[in-house]
Structure 1
Amino acid sequence: WEIKANSFITSLGKMAGHDPNLFVGYKPYSQNPKDYFVPDNELPPLVHSGFNPSFIVTVSHEKGSGDTSEFEITYGRN
């Protein structure tokens, strides 16, 4: 795509695209992994609307579960 998002405007102000806290939420004692990330309505408008040449994936499972899963990931441009 040859498009780079160098910075984003967030509720905390302007943040670099490589800032490790860019999409980090602030519920440190939550047991729910999704609470580690900011809610969708707080994402920068370009990210919230689906524009991002990169992607972020989080995979979690129930603690102590012995289940396994197979994933097939396809990355393309719509």
Structure 2
Amino acid sequence: MNANTLEEAVALTKKFTSKPTNEELLKIYALYKQATIGDNKEERPGGFDFVAAAKYNAWMKESGKEKAEASEEYISYVNGLSSKYM
């Protein structure tokens, strides 16, 4: 099963039967945020919130990508992962 839209790709991730790696999850998160919001304008999390910092850094790596480009990349990435996790 392959997704053709961002919404279908999001739904596909919910059907994964096992959890992707942390790196894969961060990539999914970052591409989704870039596709739906655009460049990260949030303040960098401080202290010892390592999860929030990892998400922030992953999203920052996608900065500069157009929403449409990030959306296409998200769909492609999720489709690729679906063969591994479904």
Fold match (TM-score > 0.5): no
| More helix by percentage | 2
TM-score (normalised: structure 2): 0.28
Question: Which structure has the larger Rg?
Answer: 1
Q: Which has the higher contact order (CA 8 A, sep 6+)?
A: 2
